[in-house]
Amino acid sequence: MTAISRGIVALILGIAIFSIQDVILKLLSGDYPLHQAMVLRSLTALPFHVAIVWWFDGRLSTITTPGWWKMLARGLLNFVAYTAYYLGLAYVPMADAVALFFTSPLFITLAAVLFLGERVRLVTAVALAAGFGGVLMVVKPGGEGFDLAAFLPIIGALGYAISMVVARPLGRTESAAAMAFWGNICFLFCALALSAIYGSGAYAGSSHPSLAFMTRGWVTPELSDLLLMSGCGVIAAVGLTLLTYAYRVAPAATVAPFEYSFMFWAVLWGWIFWKDFPDMIGWVGIAVIIMAGLLVIRTGQKEKAAPESAA
């Protein structure tokens, strides 16, 4: 199996595994705070990450390379991204939240234009405009039931896009397992910091699902809920390693389109657990976001390949 094939398989498996974590956290969001779930998840994941480093790298010294602080910084980006996403998920239907999160390819291209001075083809510019038009269809600003929490998955997409861009150059010197390890360490310490602020429940009381998920104090969990939160640690360890490995061994433009397999799971789980189903406008918006993202990815891949073909 080629490196590209391994990357694609790893990404599809990682996405499927991560979708289960989304279901668990959305189910728990009405009774527990996100920071409590993150602390328990990260603690459970820690020994698994150490074992994964040993299994993939054959030694633990890859954790303590000079680039550890860069891996930790990337972990902070992931923490911000997923915190915003999960806070949004507490309020937004799962299919909508996932669709909005998949604006990340659009943000990657837009950032390259604004901050790196890169030029894009007309077809890419049209795809970007269409993609953000699809966002408006899903969010429906000004419509009945609109809430600012709908923008949280988009903020998550921005952070995730940056972290994936960072993963590629880091992968030249650092292992996927080591990056996943430091990502988990960052999640643990950031979640502990949030727990120090909100864990006592002093700021609890908000009726908004997203705010309550952040500010609610720690709750003694039932055994079944404790197992679910701890199970997220196993899911995070395996899923994050698979995704990081995919982007490390294969070009991002090649494997990224397969992230859209998440939409299948999002629609399925949303229908099974919450009887949520996008309306017609929502379906159109989701389709536009996906097509725009795929077009941006494919166009970027062709532009990068052009100089190689001409050589």
Residue 90, classed as helix, strand or coil, is coil
- Residue-wise pLDDT for 243-286, tens only, equals 878 877 887 667 878 888 999 999 999 999 999 988 899 999 99
pLDDT at 214: 96
pLDDT at 115: 64
Tokens of 119: 């030029």
Residue 205, Cβ neighbours under 10 Å: how many?
Answer: 11
pLDDT at 193: 97
pLDDT at 273: 95
Does residue 143 surpass a pLDDT of 80? no
CA distance 227 to 77: 27
- Residue-wise pLDDT for 203-225, tens only, equals 998 989 999 999 999 999 999 99
The mean predicted confidence, pLDDT, of the chain is: 87
Whether 311 is covered by a domain: the verdict is no
CA distance 48 to 25: 20
Whether 121 is covered by a domain: the verdict is yes
Q: How many domains does the chain have?
A: 1
Q: What is Dmax (Cα atoms) for the chain?
A: 64
Whether 225 is covered by a domain: the verdict is yes
**The pTM is what?**
0.85
Task: Kindly state the average pLDDT of the residues 112-140.
Answer: 82
Whether 309 is covered by a domain: the verdict is no
Sorting pLDDT into bands at 50, 70 and 90, what band is 309? Answer: very low
pLDDT at 305: 55
pLDDT at 236: 81
Sorting pLDDT into bands at 50, 70 and 90, what band is 133? Answer: very high
Q: What percent of the chain shows pLDDT beyond 70? A: 93
CA distance 227 to 218: 16
Does residue 311 surpass a pLDDT of 60? no
- Residue-wise pLDDT for 48-78, tens only, equals 889 989 988 899 999 999 989 999 999 999 9
CA distance 1 to 268: 30
Percentage helix, strand, coil, to 5, in the chain? 80, 0, 20
**C-beta separation of 289 from 99 below 8 A:** yes
Dihedral sign for Cα atoms in the order 32, 148, 130, 277: positive
**C-beta separation of 175 from 62 below 8 A:** yes
Per-range mean pLDDT, top range of 141-150, 187-196, 294-303: 187-196
Whether 289 is covered by a domain: the verdict is yes
Does residue 2 surpass a pLDDT of 90? no
Does residue 301 surpass a pLDDT of 70? no
Tell me the helices (H) and strands (E) count for the chain, helix number first. 13, 0
Between residues 105 and 21, the one the model is more confident about: 21
Whether 246 is covered by a domain: the verdict is yes
Burial code (b: 16+ CB inside 10 Å, e: under 16) for 213-250 equals: bbbbbeeebeeebeebbbbbbebbbbbbbbbbbbbbbb
**C-beta separation of 278 from 286 below 8 A:** yes
Dihedral sign for Cα atoms in the order 261, 264, 266, 269: negative
Whether 310 is covered by a domain: the verdict is no
CA distance 278 to 284: 9
Whether 208 is covered by a domain: the verdict is yes
pLDDT at 243: 81
Please name the residue that has the structure tokens 């790893």.
10
Q: Domain range for residue 23?
A: 3-304
pLDDT at 291: 92
CA distance 263 to 145: 23
Sorting pLDDT into bands at 50, 70 and 90, what band is 310? Answer: very low
**C-beta separation of 175 from 245 below 8 A:** no
pLDDT at 157: 92
